[in-house]
């Protein structure tokens, strides 16, 4: 798709792989990310994905209710 740049696609793939935690997805996304992202960008994507996942898991485990729109 032309909606996202190659850099954005690499960041999204890395974030998705970080979230899904499957071994093959992690390795492939990490290797592919190196083609389009700097070490600093990879670190930022990983930090954000891991942080959001942690907050989501805390919310799930605490039974935090989902508000209806």
Q: Which two tokens stand for residue 51?
A: 């942080």
For the segment 13-34, what is each residue's pLDDT rounded down to a tens digit? 999 999 887 666 666 788 889 9
For the segment 44-56, what is each residue's pLDDT rounded down to a tens digit? 999 999 999 999 9
Cβ–Cβ < 8 Å for 36, 12: no
Cβ–Cβ < 8 Å for 32, 11: no
pTM over 0.85: no
> Alpha-carbon distance 63 to 55, whole Å?
12
Q: Is 45 exposed, middle or buried (0-12, 13-18, 19+ CB in 10 A)?
A: buried
Rounded to 5 degrees, what angle do the CA atoms 24, 26, 27 make? 70
1-5, 12-16, 26-30, 38-42 — which is least confidently predicted? 26-30
């Amino acid at each position: 798709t032309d909606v996202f740049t190659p850099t954005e696609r690499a960041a999204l793939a890395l974030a998705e792989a970080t979230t899904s935690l499957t071994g093959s997805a992690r390795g492939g996304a990490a290797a592919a990310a190196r083609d389009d992202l700097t070490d600093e960008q990879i670190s930022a994507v990983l930090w954000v994905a891991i942080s959001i996942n942690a907050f989501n898991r805390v919310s799930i485990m605490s039974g935090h209710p989902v508000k209806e729109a």
